Amino acid sequence: MDIDDFSVNDFTTAYRNGTLSPVEVLEHKSDLMDAAEPVLHAMAKRYDNTHTTIEDAQASEKRWKQGNPLSPLDGVPLTIKENVNVKGEVTTWGCKAFADSEPATLNSPVYDLLKKTGCTILGKTAMPEWGMLSSGLSTDHPTTCNAWNAQWNPGGSSAGAGCASAAGYSPINFGSDIGGSVRLPASWNGVSGLKPTFGRIPVDPPYFGRSIGVLGRHLDDIATAISLTSASDWRDPYSLPLAQPGWLDAPQRDIHDITIGLLLDAGAGAPVNPEVAEAVLKVADFFENAGAKVVKLRPFVDGSIDLIDMFWRAGHYRDYAALSQDRKDLVLPFISQWCMAGADISSGQAVRGSDEQLALAKRTLDATKDVDFIVSPVSPDATYPVDWPMPSNDVEHAMSHIAFCLPYNMSGQPASSLNCGFTSDRRPIGVQIAGQRFDEAGVLWMSRLYESLKPDSAKVNSWPRIWES
């Protein structure tokens, strides 16, 4: 078997049988990253050769030999995103202007939760400038590219996580998502991703709508990772209570009892590429042919994107204005221009933009209250040139691609991204399956159903290794 396509279960079975060890896996993944990173640039910081990580793998190997693993993730390689705080390290958010900031004094909750599982953390995946781009562009490290084609964009802001998933660095790659930053790179890299219910995995620093999510090739791996990192934490006032054991187990549901809302027009943002619309419509047809009821949903995003973007610009302008001139000069020009647009936003306009987050949440919940799940594109189009900061490449319409993702950040609903086909030039297309709040189990059930039975045209038959060509 291809070790780079191993699932969590494949790793733990091999560890239990003694046919593979966490130390051997760490060495293999180090070799893989040594070969691929000069092309992909998916990693912002590597831990694989540090004494701490090597000792962690050795300790895991010992536990497996004794038959006493800490968790299903013991010894399993995974990555965290660049914005995860690790005590003693500077968190740059992909921006050189923050490279000499004070080191973190506390770990992020997800880091502490992962360390308890005994997993092997390979390092931090790259994110774009200030986390505000849907690309791999950064002033703090080389541009991350798409693992399928170095001229394609990986998306963002979990750019490195999407690339690492497709390249086989690890079965589990943590990201964060406030407007599609897990689902977009999952879509454009042809992998799976899940943004859980808001508050399910604690976040520090917390922010309304921001969720920790997971990307990878296998849905069961994503479920395992989320189940082991879902907890309440004092550092996140929005975090949910500790979930009960088995809460993500496959529910006993009958597809004939399921109503699906189909959304091909969000009512805002960029127009949907006909190839994307056709691929998503085939997913809806698949579920309808399986016995589900499919109804068309009316557009409900309206002017929310521009209003919420205005609020984000106002907040980032405040932070940008506080930088010294020499630090401002280090910020990517696109982001500087985006921030500067916040200078002329009045307090009333900023409040209106803030209020729109709740208004969109209410409209989303109202529009979807009579369906069990919502099927839509993840993005209006497939991936785009690697050196563009946004799909529009236009700072005036920077967020025109997030209309299908943003509503579920505001409403707190869980949503997955699954590969559902390819464009005529072989760019991956992602379908989004969203569910009702707290129903990650249902979203995973629907996602698994599609993954297990989808047509060959929507399957990844072999994973890319462009660094070998």
pTM, rounded to two decimals: 0.97
Angle, vertex CA 40, rays to CA 60 and CA 95, nearest 5 = 90
Catalytic residue at 282? no
Catalytic residue at 81? yes
CA distance 120 to 33: 15
Asked if 114 contacts 121 with a C-beta cutoff of 8 angstroms, the reply is: yes
Asked if 95 contacts 139 with a C-beta cutoff of 8 angstroms, the reply is: yes
Give just the sign of the alpha carbon dihedral 182, 187, 191, 195.
positive
> How many other CB atoms sit within 10 Å of the CB of residue 249?
12
> How many other CB atoms sit within 10 Å of the CB of residue 439?
18
pLDDT at 427: 98
Asked if 177 contacts 211 with a C-beta cutoff of 8 angstroms, the reply is: yes
Catalytic residue at 135? no
Question: Could you report the per-residue pLDDT of 271-305, keeping only the tens digit for each?
Answer: 999 999 999 999 999 999 999 999 999 999 999 99
pLDDT at 61: 98
Give just the sign of the alpha carbon dihedral 226, 227, 232, 233.
negative
CA distance to 36, 83, 152, 330, 337, per residue, from 320 (Å): 34, 18, 29, 11, 11
CA distance to 111, 322, 373, per residue, from 317 (Å): 29, 8, 37
Give per-10-residue mean pLDDT for the chain (469 aa): 94 97 98 98 98 98 98 98 98 96 97 98 98 97 98 98 98 98 98 98 94 98 97 96 85 92 97 98 97 97 95 95 96 97 95 97 98 98 98 97 98 98 97 97 96 92 94
Given 158, 181, 192, 447, which residue is catalytic? 181
Return the amino acid letter for 228: L
CA distance 205 to 203: 6
DSSP H or E stretch at residue 313: helix 304-321
**C-alpha of 196 from chain center:** 10
CA distance 461 to 417: 18
Asked if 310 contacts 349 with a C-beta cutoff of 8 angstroms, the reply is: yes
CATH 3.40.50.300: does it fit domain 257-306+335-444?
no
Given 7, 45, 60, 81, which residue is catalytic? 81
pLDDT at 380: 98
CATH 3.40.50.300: does it fit domain 3-227?
no
DSSP H or E stretch at residue 176: strand 172-177
Asked if 91 contacts 85 with a C-beta cutoff of 8 angstroms, the reply is: yes
| Strands of the sheet with 415-422, listed across from one edge | 43-46, 120-125, 77-81, 172-177, 211-216, 192-195, 415-422, 428-435, 373-377, 259-262, 293-296
Question: Could you report the per-residue pLDDT of 443-468, keeping only the tens digit for each?
Answer: 999 999 999 999 998 999 899 999 99
Structure tokens given for 131: 């986390």
Cβ partners under 8 Å of residue 223, min gap 6: 194, 248, 440, 444
Residues of the chain with CATH 3.90.1300.10: 3-227, 257-306+335-444
Given 7, 60, 157, 165, which residue is catalytic? 157
Structure tokens given for 107: 């770990």
CA distance to 57, 210, 211, 404, per residue, from 239 (Å): 30, 11, 10, 24
CA distance to 309, 398, 410, 413, per residue, from 403 (Å): 11, 12, 12, 15
pLDDT at 245: 82
CA distance 366 to 303: 17
pLDDT at 252: 80
Cβ partners under 8 Å of residue 468, min gap 6: 35
pLDDT at 243: 81
CA distance 432 to 283: 10
CA distance to 114, 143, 216, 271, 332, per residue, from 447 (Å): 25, 31, 13, 25, 37
